Structure 1
Amino acid sequence: MTSPNLSKSDFAALSEFRYQMRRFERFSEDVVQAQGITPLQYLLLLHIKGYPGRDWATVGELAERLQAKHHGVVALITRCEAMGLVERRNSAIDRRRVEVHLLRKGETILAQLAEQHRVELLSLEGVFTIPRIRHE
């Protein structure tokens, strides 16, 4: 049964949007793995570097950005530390807070991948528009 509030063009717009999102995700998975890291490791690096107002983030902030459980993010950080991508530091202001910082290797990999992602995003410009669902 079709919703009376959605037209065929609404479904087509949603379908196209999801298709283009998945294409971008697949592109991202491929280029990230070619660099020797996992998509989640890339997202961790990106969220550390891209955290508003500073170049580090807490475990809790990263868990929110990744929409993941705290203990899962701790394990992810541990794996990235073992690879020399990030390091944990106790906050100088609040010793209970742990800051996660990028290391040079993480910065280098992230910069290369971010440029590839930026180019891919620019290639999608104008391919589709964000669907606007009518509310009746």
Structure 2
Amino acid sequence: MLEDDDYRTLAAVRAELRGFAHFTEEVVRAAGLTPQQHQVLVALRGAKNGELTVGQLAEALLIQSHSVSGLVDRLQTMGLVERMRRETDRRSVVLHLTPRATDLMASLSRTHRDELRRIRPLLISLLSQLD
């Protein structure tokens, strides 16, 4: 059975996670991106070989393929994502970051890493209270 302290801890964890999400939204908007566009770039940057199909990206982001296609279209117009046919299967199209997007991601990711490092002690402390 959960005690009042457990609920306070869960509320504090949620508040910290939401605070980080808000931080992320503000940082990426200042860089000219929507949070969803940033999520696409993060998923592509973190993908094996730096490439995903639209379907794989939709699965990673937990959204519909047609929504991903619209996001990718806008990112392609912005010069941040490119579609390429696979060498091994010319019917298959994969998404890649452009060099411009790679540079942007390096800057944004450093900022996010620094913020996570800042809140890490508090998160560890809160999460350890759930044992």
Fold similarity call, TM over 0.5: yes
Secondary structure, in 3 states, of the residue corresponding to 1:126? helix
Instruction: Report how far residue 8 of structure 1 moved.
Output: 1.1
Looking at both structures, which has the greater relative contact order when contacts are Cα pairs under 8 Å and sequence separation is at least 6? 1
Name structure 2 gaps, 5 residues minimum: none
Q: Distance in 2 between matches of 1:96 and 1:50?
A: 24
Could you say if the C-alpha distance between residues 9 and 104 of structure 1 is closer, same or farther in structure 2, counting changes exceeding 3 Å?
same
Aligned to 2:80: 85
Q: Which amino acid aligns with 2:74?
A: R
Of 114, 122, 130, the match for 1:119: 114
Indicate whether 1:29 and 2:25 are aligned.
yes
Q: Distance in 1 between matches of 2:130 and 2:120?
A: 21
Indicate whether 1:14 and 2:6 are aligned.
no
Indicate whether 1:44 and 2:36 are aligned.
no
More displaced 10-residue stretch of structure 1: 78-87 or 60-69: 60-69
Indicate whether 1:70 and 2:61 are aligned.
no
Instruction: Report how far residue 104 of structure 1 moved.
Output: 1.2
Name structure 1 gaps, 5 residues minimum: none
Aligned to 1:61: 56
Of 123, 127, 131, the match for 1:130: 127
Instruction: Report how far residue 92 of structure 1 moved.
Output: 1.3
Q: Distance in 1 between matches of 2:4 and 2:128?
A: 12
Could you say if the C-alpha distance between residues 111 and 94 of structure 1 is closer, same or farther in structure 2, counting changes exceeding 3 Å?
same
Instruction: Report how far residue 64 of structure 1 moved.
Output: 1.3
Aligned-residue identity in percent: 36
RMSD in angstroms over aligned alpha carbons? 1.5
Instruction: Report how far residue 96 of structure 1 moved.
Output: 2.7
The number of residues matched between the two structures is: 129
Q: Distance in 2 between matches of 1:72 and 1:87?
A: 17
Name the structure with the higher helix share: 2
Secondary structure, in 3 states, of the residue corresponding to 1:101? strand
Secondary structure, in 3 states, of the residue corresponding to 1:84? coil
Q: Which amino acid aligns with 1:20?
A: E
* 1:89/1:100 contact within 8 Å kept: yes
Structure 1: 4+ residue segments shifted above 3 A: 131-134
Instruction: Report how far residue 109 of structure 1 moved.
Output: 1.1
